[in-house]
Homo-oligomer: A and B are copies of this chain.
């Protein structure tokens, strides 16, 4: 899946991050390459985390798992250093957000396990190629994310709300978005809901729980997808220390977005 023998745009991007040249959002960076959510958590909680993700696979599709204490993630790219290759990290202590960091080398522990979860960004190329207008991309934002009143499937002590992302599309594009996104099950797949936010217990589109406000215009329909933050919210209930990517500052991998589409290519 990687361009062997060639330093990919993804590798160059990670090197720039590591060198301190880039510390902004990864939106639009290393186009064509998969960007992933990252969670670094103690090994003794990894089983609960992976069980929860399996039980909520549409929201929390696991792209790769690391070995305990291993700062690399060979399944997703050459020379990845999970401690410093993302432009930003969020550190949680006792389950609560503590601080944002540029680098987490000094927080690394030998029992930490990296888990990469698919991100909706990876279907944007295919949507664009299908002629779909992506208004959130035009605005340079990620879009709004909401905690819903739908409960995720619990696993052990991990439980919480289903978190969703919303993006508005032209009515004429909705059928295309539905069929293209269904081809990308490892980055949340087809929308889980269309239209009325109240069905998900979302009372105010002006007040997203994460991300930025973006309202459907006349002639647009709001589409909703499960979001990897579902796993982060549930992990908080364990009241443990863990680390995630900072919002919009994702792990840029060597995988090509098109490799996540069904048909999956051979290894």
Q: Which of A12-20, A87-95, A139-147, A150-158 is the contact stretch? A: A150-158
Q: Which of A24-32, A47-55, A100-108, A122-130 is the contact stretch? A: A47-55
Residues of B within 8 A of A263 (CB): 178, 182, 189-192
Q: Are B65 and A50 in contact (CB under 8 A)?
A: yes
Task: List 4 A-B pairs, minimum CB-CB distance, nearest first.
Answer: A185-B185, A51-B65, A190-B263, A182-B262
Q: Is A251 an interface residue (CB 8 A)?
A: no
Bound CA span A109–B204, Å? 50
Q: Are B151 and A267 in contact (CB under 8 A)?
A: yes
Q: Are B267 and A153 in contact (CB under 8 A)?
A: yes
Bound CA span A264–B184, Å? 12
User: A64 touches which one: B55, B58, B63 (CB < 8 A)?
Assistant: B55
Q: Is A57 an interface residue (CB 8 A)?
A: yes
The closest CB in chain B to the CB of A151 belongs to: B267
Apart from A47-B65, A47-B67, A65-B155, 7 more pairs, CB < 8 Å: A51-B67, A54-B64, A150-B266, A151-B267, A185-B185, A192-B264, A193-B266
Q: Is A183 an interface residue (CB 8 A)?
A: yes
Q: Which of A162-197 contact B (CB under 8 A)?
A: 162, 178, 182-183, 185-186, 189-193
Q: Is A234 an interface residue (CB 8 A)?
A: no
Residues of B within 8 A of A185 (CB): 185-186, 189, 262
Given known contacts A152-B267, A262-B182, A262-B189, A54 and B47 CB-to-CB distance under 8 angstroms: no
Q: Are B267 and A75 in contact (CB under 8 A)?
A: no
Residues of B within 8 A of A113 (CB): 47
Q: Is A46 an interface residue (CB 8 A)?
A: yes
Q: Are A75 and B153 in contact (CB under 8 A)?
A: yes
Q: Is A56 an interface residue (CB 8 A)?
A: yes
Q: Is A43 an interface residue (CB 8 A)?
A: yes
Bound CA span A190–B183, Å? 10
The closest CB in chain B to the CB of A263 belongs to: B190
